[in-house]
A and B are shown apart, each in its own frame.
Chain A
């Protein structure tokens, strides 16, 4: 019953946000916050909603893996590395420092930095398409930054994993899984690709099962489910049809994840204030890293500003990391920061032309007064 109502709320929100071309991710989270235990108390998280939420993030990560074709990535590795490097260095360290200053210990500061370093691929790519920016070179760099971040996510999941009693053994298991993925990514699509071309229920059922296999891996081998999901996706990225099959599953479960996540969060005043500070730093950080990346790769500060403005929005990955590994006030803080940056980020990306014009006028005035 609860799920049907949650779904209905999300359908309405999705339709409204599409109509006004606003990002839908913050809408789902805000609705969850309002209806959930911290708000009106109409919904409470239970076992079923937890399972659905977990399925949602696993689907998302599996889908990310599917889009990371090892062969195509390695052809562009130079571009991807140079585009994503400053973004990582600047944003991760900035948020880490602010989190430590706010009184978090190093493990939690590392988690907050991991969560808020990563932009929302969903919002960022959608605004590039909707705001018709795909002709520009800057947009390509933005896309490479997103790919770089997708790869770093896999690493951050491993590094944030708390249940590591035996670090060497754990790392060994992760390495074996990674090596297996690499070795099998050439064979698996040929071996089982045919299963996804059938006309019966096998393709959908099998795709759904493979996507969720990560959870089973976590139980048997104690490897983080999210990491396994990305690796399984990578391994099967050669099967084009699989992406089409899994997309509707991902859409449904991920939307419900945002909503159920919102329900489970109790926004504290402290968290909210810290969230505001983190949001401001997160926005400034992306603009700075964008400026430097643009100056470095396209020899233009204005291109850099465009890159920065386009990458401000945080979203699904931040929420996933804080959902999977967070526990205390950092959950409130990151949630608040995501809601703020996603809305402001979408706005900045939409109005980047105007902002660039005023920025260059300001720069001219500044240099003429000098």
Chain B
């Protein structure tokens, strides 16, 4: 059960009580920093850390249960309002094999069901790339799909 409350002049607070009775609170401060509190059930005093947005993202990936590797990183997003909905996004680096091919040519969606939602090329990001976009070696692509679709994508398109 997550409790959510806006704190005027401070930020936004999320509070979570675990099944075992421990308490976790996360406060997004107005200055973009994030305070995380953990309080054991039997303990009077909580522990706290203050982290940056980047560190919070790292932490959320770790807690999401996904091993972080530089080449293949993935993020799962849960939506507070829709408990059953989990989106998994994976990133891959385009290899020589795909260089010069387009999304349309590879028929990625038709063959695998997965979708390419973004391409990052030399620091610039293209969100919802058009089907005629030509891949270049070194592009980082963001793929969205369920477990099966991602596996298919890895096997059929990337050949790994």
Question: Which positions in A face B, CB cutoff 8 Å?
Answer: 67-68, 72-73, 121, 125, 128-129, 132, 134-135, 140, 143, 146-147, 150, 353
Contacts and interface: CB of A to CB of B under 8 A. Distances in A.
A143 B48 contact: no
Contacts of A134: 7, 10, 13, 25, 27, 35, 37
Given A125-B10, A135-B37, A353-B45, 18 more contacts: A67-B9, A68-B8, A73-B8, A128-B10, A132-B46, A134-B13, A134-B27, A134-B35, A134-B37, A135-B15, A135-B23, A135-B46, A140-B5, A143-B7, A143-B8, A143-B10, A146-B8, A150-B8
B152 to A, nearest CB: 41
B29 interface: yes
A125 B9 contact: yes
A132 B10 contact: no
Nearest to A244: B30
Contacts, number: 45
Interface of B: 5-10, 13, 15, 23, 25, 27, 29, 35, 37, 39, 45-46, 48, 50
A353 B46 CA distance: 12
Given A134-B35, A135-B37, A135-B46, A129 B23 contact: no
Nearest to A137: B15
Tell me the dominant secondary structure on chain A's binding face. helix
Contacts of B27: 134
Identify which of B6, B8, B13, B45 gathers the most chain A CB atoms within 10 Å of its CB: B8
Nearest to A146: B9
Contact of A135 (B25, B29, B50): B25
Nearest to B15: A135
B6 A140 contact: no
A147 B10 CA distance: 11
A67 B15 CA distance: 22
B50 to A, nearest CB: 8
Contacts of B45: 353
A14 to B, nearest CB: 15
A135 B9 CA distance: 16
B8 A135 contact: no
Nearest to B25: A135
Contacts of B50: 132
Contact of B9 (A132, A140, A143, A353): A143
Contacts of B6: 72
Chain A to chain B: the 7 pairs with minimum beta-carbon distance, closest first: A135-B37, A135-B25, A132-B48, A134-B27, A147-B8, A135-B46, A143-B7
A76 to B, nearest CB: 8
Nearest to A68: B8
Contacts of A143: 7-10
Contacts of A73: 8
Identify which of A132, A134, A140 gathers the most chain B CB atoms within 10 Å of its CB: A134
Contacts of A121: 9
A228 B46 CA distance: 42
A341 B13 CA distance: 29
Nearest to A353: B45
